[in-house]
Amino acid sequence: MKQVKTETIDNLEGLIGTGETFRFRCHDGLACYNRCCRNLNLFLSPYDVLRLKQGLGLSAGDFIDRYTDAVLRDGKALPELLLRMNDNEEATCIFLSEAGCTAYAHRPDTCRTFPCEHGIYYNADGAKERVLFLRPPSFCEGIHDPRELTPEAWQKDQNAENHNAMNELWGEVEALFSGNPWGAEGPQGQRAKMAFMAAYNVDDFREFIFGSSFLKRCKIKNDLKMKLRRDDVAVMKFGFEWIRVFLFGLPSKTIKMK
Ligand code: SF4
Ligand code: SF4
């Protein structure tokens, strides 16, 4: 998700403006079919990890170990997860088979949105708007299909509503990391490890909530406590809140100190 500045919005390549449509349909009869599932720098959001690990029946930790590489990019305070590509000549995606994507029902948001990209635009009043850019690779034949789509229709077609909503929530939390929140401890320190777990590893974070002294020190409502025992999305949202409160000292209606 890109943050888009007001003064640059009109000059950005591929922007699909309000009320505009784009043409696209992807299907297995095209010569380019699956060609785009290769040699990618595909960063996974926390919600991508959650959906993939659930779909594959793995713990978040096992999914992360088996299918991702953690990287710390320049200027970033928190490591991110890259979906692993196969070690073959074409660097095919680890989920790509001859028949297509083996993780299709759980595929990441980037794959759902492709050949578009999301952006968040803050208008002159500071209000947030989601924008979409059409940026297909040169070999993409799907853009010659006559089907016309609005950004909303494309999101529905790809069943991406939950991904988009969760990624927006994460975008707000991730923006808090833009300074250096770790001080001398650096990104290898204990606080950074906790933040990474709260964001990306719902299973370990649930263990932290119920298996550490956390609930002795903090008060949360009983109905939320029950939800956290069985609902991964609730744990992820709680993890985002934990980051806001314990790393950035922001007020919370959900977590109170005892
Ligand atoms: S996850 Fe599936 S759709 Fe996405 S790049 Fe890999 S094979 Fe392609
Ligand atoms: S290149 Fe375009 S049309 Fe071809 S498989 Fe990828 S998204 Fe579909």
Q: Is the pLDDT of residue 9 over 70?
A: no
pLDDT at 213: 96
pLDDT at 187: 86
Query: CA quadruple 226, 227, 231, 237: dihedral positive or negative?
Result: negative
Q: What is the pLDDT of residues 31-77, one digit of tens each?
A: 999 999 999 999 999 999 999 999 999 999 999 999 999 999 988 89
Is the minimum distance from the CB of 44 to ligand 1 under 6 angstroms? no
Is the minimum distance from the CB of 44 to ligand 2 under 6 angstroms? no
Is the minimum distance from the CB of 114 to ligand 2 under 6 angstroms? yes
**Model pTM score:** 0.93
Which of 178, 234, 183 minimizes the C-alpha distance to 206?
234
pLDDT band with cut points at 50, 70 and 90 for residue 5: low
Euclidean distance between CA atoms 54 and 57, whole angstroms: 5
Euclidean distance between CA atoms 245 and 255, whole angstroms: 8
Q: Is the pLDDT of residue 26 over 80?
A: yes
Distance (angstroms) between ligand 2 centre and the Cα of 202 equals 32
Mean pLDDT, residues 235-255 taken together: 96
Which of 75, 72, 84 minimizes the C-alpha distance to 188?
72
Q: Helices H, strands E: what count in the chain?
A: 10, 13
Is the minimum distance from the CB of 35 to ligand 2 under 6 angstroms? yes
Q: What is the pLDDT of residues 94-135, one digit of tens each?
A: 999 998 999 999 999 999 999 999 887 777 777 778 889 999
Q: Where are the domains of the chain?
A: 2-158, 176-253
pLDDT at 12: 75
Distance (angstroms) between ligand 1 centre and the Cα of 17 equals 27
